[in-house]
């Protein structure tokens, strides 16, 4: 179908399911969708193919969680992530395809490490404005390179004590 292999279609279907699942309950699973899309489609094509799925899922999530979102939190981090998006835009343009694929793998590993660091040292790091600034910029770069900013943004939301519904609302609201 469409000249795609069976395994590519399976990766695509599972990634689509994970995107929907992530927007409604388990935010940390989104990185698996990025990974599956990177396996299914080469380099720079994978974020472009994943983006429409994320937009549709975000529309539904924003509609569902709009009352739980504190838009002031999103407005506070927007400038940092905008800087990262700007940097990421140019990085995607100048990085060669093979290096981009490796960079996407490094991005995924960095998010896994960040998740571990948050579990272990989240309270100590949540007071560091420098770390929050770096995290905001990294979220923007991750958005441009792989539609994968959620793990970075969770750290910032963690600082403001967001509950699960608020966290999901902020992820959806910011992504949208």
The string of pLDDT tens digits covering residues 3-24 is 788 998 999 999 988 888 877 6
- Mean pLDDT for the stretch of residues 39-45: 82
For the cut 70, the answer to whether the pLDDT of residue 152 exceeds it is no
- Is 55 within the bounds of a domain? yes
For the cut 80, the answer to whether the pLDDT of residue 89 exceeds it is yes
- Is 110 within the bounds of a domain? yes
- Is 1 within the bounds of a domain? no
For the cut 60, the answer to whether the pLDDT of residue 136 exceeds it is yes
The pLDDT of residue 44:
78
The pLDDT of residue 14:
92
The pLDDT of residue 127:
66
For the cut 80, the answer to whether the pLDDT of residue 93 exceeds it is yes
Task: Tell me how many domains the chain contains.
Answer: 1
- Higher pLDDT: 7 or 58? It is 7
The pLDDT of residue 83:
92
**What is the rounded average pLDDT for all residues in the chain?**
76
The CA distance from 36 to 11, in Å, is 5
Q: Determine the structural domain holding residue 54 and report its residue range.
A: 6-175
pTM strictly above 0.75 = no
The pLDDT of residue 109:
80
The CA distance from 61 to 166, in Å, is 11
CA dihedral 118, 156, 37, 146 (to 10 degrees): -120
- Is 52 within the bounds of a domain? yes
For residue 63, how many other CB atoms are within 10 A of its CB? Answer: 10
For the cut 80, the answer to whether the pLDDT of residue 99 exceeds it is yes
- Is 45 within the bounds of a domain? yes
The CA distance from 146 to 50, in Å, is 9
For the cut 80, the answer to whether the pLDDT of residue 56 exceeds it is yes
Percentage of residues in the chain with pLDDT exceeding 70?
A: 73
**Residue 134 burial by CB count (10 A; 0-12/13-18/19+): exposed, middle or buried?**
middle
- Higher pLDDT: 95 or 70? It is 95
E strand or H helix at 144: helix 129-146
């Amino acid at each position: 179908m469409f000249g795609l292999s069976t395994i590519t279609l399976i990766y695509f279907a599972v990634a689509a399911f994970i995107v929907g699942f992530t927007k409604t309950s388990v935010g940390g699973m989104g990185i698996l969708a990025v990974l599956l899309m990177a396996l299914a489609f080469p380099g720079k094509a994978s974020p472009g193919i994943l983006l429409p799925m994320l937009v549709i899922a975000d529309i539904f999530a924003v509609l569902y969680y709009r009352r739980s979102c504190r838009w002031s939190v999103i407005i506070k981090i927007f400038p940092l992530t905008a800087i990262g998006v700007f940097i990421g835009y140019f990085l995607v343009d100048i990085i060669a395809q093979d290096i981009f694929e490796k960079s996407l793998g490094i991005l995924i590993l960095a998010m896994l490490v960040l998740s571990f660091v948050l579990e272990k040292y989240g309270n100590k790091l949540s007071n560091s404005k420098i770390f929050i600034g770096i995290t905001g910029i990294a979220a923007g770069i991750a958005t441009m390179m792989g539609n994968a900013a959620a793990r970075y943004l969770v750290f910032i939301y963690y600082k403001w004590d967001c509950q699960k519904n608020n966290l999901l609302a902020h992820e959806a609201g910011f992504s949208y």
